[in-house]
Amino acid sequence: MFDKRIQDIHIKKNREHEAGVTSLHSNKSREHVIVSGSYDEYIRLWDIRNLKRSVSSVKMPGTLWRLKWDPFIQKYLLAACMYGGVHIVSAANDNIQIVKSYYEHKNISYGADWCTLQNDDVDKFNFDGNVIIGTCSFYEKLLCVSKAYCDFSV
Q: What is the pLDDT of residue 14?
A: 67
**pTM, 2 dp:** 0.86
Residue 42, number of CB atoms within 10 A of its CB: 21
The sign of the dihedral angle between the CA atoms of 76, 74, 132, 103 is negative
> What is the predicted pLDDT for the residue at 18?
74
Write the single-letter amino acid at 98: I
Q: Where are the domains of the chain?
A: 21-148
pLDDT of residue 69: 96
Mean pLDDT by 10 residues, the chain (154 residues): 71 72 91 93 91 92 95 95 95 92 88 87 82 91 90 80
Which residues share a beta bridge with 113?
Answer: 134
pLDDT at 128: 85
CATH fold of 21-148 = Methylamine Dehydrogenase; Chain H (2.130.10)
Per-residue confidence (pLDDT) for residue 133, from 0 to 100: 93
Residue 5 confidence (pLDDT): 79
